[in-house]
Amino acid sequence: MATIIGLFSFLSSLLFVLLDVAQFWKPKLLAWLRSKPRRVVLRQRLEAAQTFQEWEQAAIELDEFLNADLWRQNPVNNDYDHRLISTRLRNLRRAQEGDDPGTAATLLRSGLLRDLANITSPRLYGHALAGTKHLIEDYVAQLAICIRFITASPTIPRHPSDFDSQDKLDFLRDTRQAFGRTTLVLEGGAMFGICHLGVIKALHQKGLLPRIITGTATGAIIAALIGIHTEQELLPFLDGEGIDLSAAGRPRGPRGSIFSLLRREPGYGWLRTLRRRLQRYIRENYLQDLKVMEECVRGYVGDMTFEEAYAKTNRVLNITLAISGRAGIPALLNYLTAPNVLIWSAAMASNLSSVARGTTIMYCKDETGAIVPWPNFDRITLRPWRQLNYGFRQSPLDRLGELFNVNHFIVSQARPFFIPLLRVDIPRPGQSHGHRWRITRPFMRLVELEIRYRLRQLDFFGLLPIPLRRIVIDEEMPTASITIIPDLSLWDLTKAFKSPTRQDLRNWILKGERGVWPNIVSLKNRCTVELELERGYQIVKRKPQPGMLDVFDY
């Protein structure tokens, strides 16, 4: 009996000890079970970031967790010629350290290409969120440093290899011409075109906003709004402070809200508004009331011409039209081709450029400043692009190259129906590490190419309905380009008719910004040299232009 009691006492004591231990470890065990994997936590931080600094910090930590930082440190990769880049980087550093601007200028001229050794290949920007190979980033930064070194070299030559002022001016002018220029193209977007403001804001904050801005359809309205604001006025406007929401419910008025184009029509419920707009879309191939849009755009832009906007802001505003060259009207409107044309009337014409049957009146200012119809015609008949049979050299975007030496396009694409196809087509940073669709990507890419091919066949024979064409067919860029996709999803379609608030406006702008953040490093590697050449040229001329940065943050 004593043995049984002793055994029972021992087991009871052991049980109490185990319960104490379990009670001690219970919170830690539950916390561990409820905790999310670090990868998930970092991706959630990435998606919840409100500023680029927050996004960048989360991207760096995620790269370290996925060992993508090791990939960046290793310069070897089959997608570019790392030996050539290493050699050029070493020689550029020697020329700078040896205080030899002549040799530095020769090295720059011999290999100043945007895609030298394939350093802009999309494959090099899909492995890590925070950037690409350190060698590529160091090389581009060294190019910028050498341009600054040449710009700051003594104006009185100390030895034969030094540059005088005229030598520097000639070098910077010729090199800038050979390198080419960049334009930001704002493509459509209809109700989601407001996201273009976020794209412009992110580029502006990082000093990467091109001076040449081109708009098509809804993008023409956003381009017009940007093209009339000076450098000091731009950032407050991009923050949403310059956009009036108080007039969102007014269908008419001298200065209606941009969002009056997006919300329900007064006197009608949401369902009846949707039905009326769909009927208008089928009948007229356009969703919004064009009269409301015209008054809204004119209220913001005013009666400013392309020439007046260029004189005020020093930005080159371009608006494209789909119109036959036989009409005697340029398909690309800017301060050179249409200096006296009112910007708001050009933006309205661009919005009609994809409509099968549509007429509009374009206005200009005469010698006395009076507003009159553009000379030689009263109305312009706009036709779909497929009916114009443009040759390559006749396309509006290719005309940019002839007028402004543009050979690089940054395209902001905000059409929600087209975004799923673009996300399959364009490698996104970070997809090479744990992306859930990586196994099916080749199949999805094949399906996407087949769909595009069949749609273009129907479009070529004129069998694709115009409303469908405006959604699924994108205009091709004539040369090198990079596409920015705002952080949109098909679910955002449900928000299109919601009565907007100031917070809604900030959310749409933030969606545009988030589309730019993963592409910041790629854009820097493509555009930094161009911006430094422009900056150096203006310094040597002693006529700095508005909007050029004095320093770049590497």
- Could you please report the per-residue DSSP string of 451-483? HHHHHHHHHHTT-S-HHHHHHH--PPPSSEEEE
Angle at 336 between CA 331 and CA 342, to 5 degrees: 70
Q: Tell me the per-residue pLDDT of 368-426, one tens digit each, with 9 for 90 and over.
A: 999 998 876 555 656 554 444 444 445 788 889 999 999 999 999 876 555 555 554 44
How far is the C-alpha of 140 from the C-alpha of 517, rounded, in Å? 19
What's the chain's length in residues?
554
Tell me phi and psi for residue 397, to 5 degrees.
-70, -35
Distances (CA, A) of 244 to 215, 240, 250, 296, 299: 22, 8, 12, 11, 11
CB 197 within 8 A of CB 238: yes
At residue 307, the pLDDT reads 96
How far is the C-alpha of 390 from the C-alpha of 388, rounded, in Å? 6
CB 104 within 8 A of CB 175: no
How far is the C-alpha of 133 from the C-alpha of 127, rounded, in Å? 10
List residues bridging with 320 in a β-sheet.
332
Let me know if domain 182-516 sits in CATH 1.10.10.
no
At residue 553, the pLDDT reads 37
In terms of Cα–Cα distance, which of 52, 502, 497, 486 is closest to 242?
A: 502
How far is the C-alpha of 407 from the C-alpha of 469, rounded, in Å? 27
> What angle, rounded to 10 degrees, do the helices at 38-48 and 52-65 form?
160
How far is the C-alpha of 527 from the C-alpha of 532, rounded, in Å? 9
CB 286 within 8 A of CB 352: yes
Torsion sign, CA atoms 484, 489, 490, 492: negative
Residue 3 in tokens: 């043995």
Which residues does 220 contact at the CB level (< 8 Å), separation at least 6? Answer: 186, 319, 320, 346, 347, 350, 351
How far is the C-alpha of 402 from the C-alpha of 392, rounded, in Å? 12
Torsion sign, CA atoms 115, 119, 124, 125: negative
CB 433 within 8 A of CB 64: no
User: pTM value?
Assistant: 0.81
CB count within 10 Å of CB 52 equals 17
How far is the C-alpha of 445 from the C-alpha of 1, rounded, in Å? 80
Domain ranges for the chain: 67-177, 182-516
CB count within 10 Å of CB 206 equals 18
In terms of Cα–Cα distance, which of 408, 325, 428, 338 is closest to 43?
A: 428
Which residues does 249 contact at the CB level (< 8 Å), separation at least 6? Answer: 260, 263, 266, 499
At residue 523, the pLDDT reads 95
* Residue segments in the chain with a per-residue pLDDT below the cut of 70: 1-2, 6, 10, 26, 28-36, 155-162, 190-191, 240-293, 323-328, 353-359, 376-394, 415-441, 444-445, 465-477, 490, 493-501, 543-554
The secondary structure element, H or E, covering residue 319 is: strand 316-320
Q: pLDDT > 90: what percent of the chain? A: 36
> What angle, rounded to 10 degrees, do the helices at 134-151 and 520-541 form?
10
CB 520 within 8 A of CB 199: no
Distances (CA, A) of 514 to 46, 333, 509, 522, 552: 10, 30, 9, 15, 21
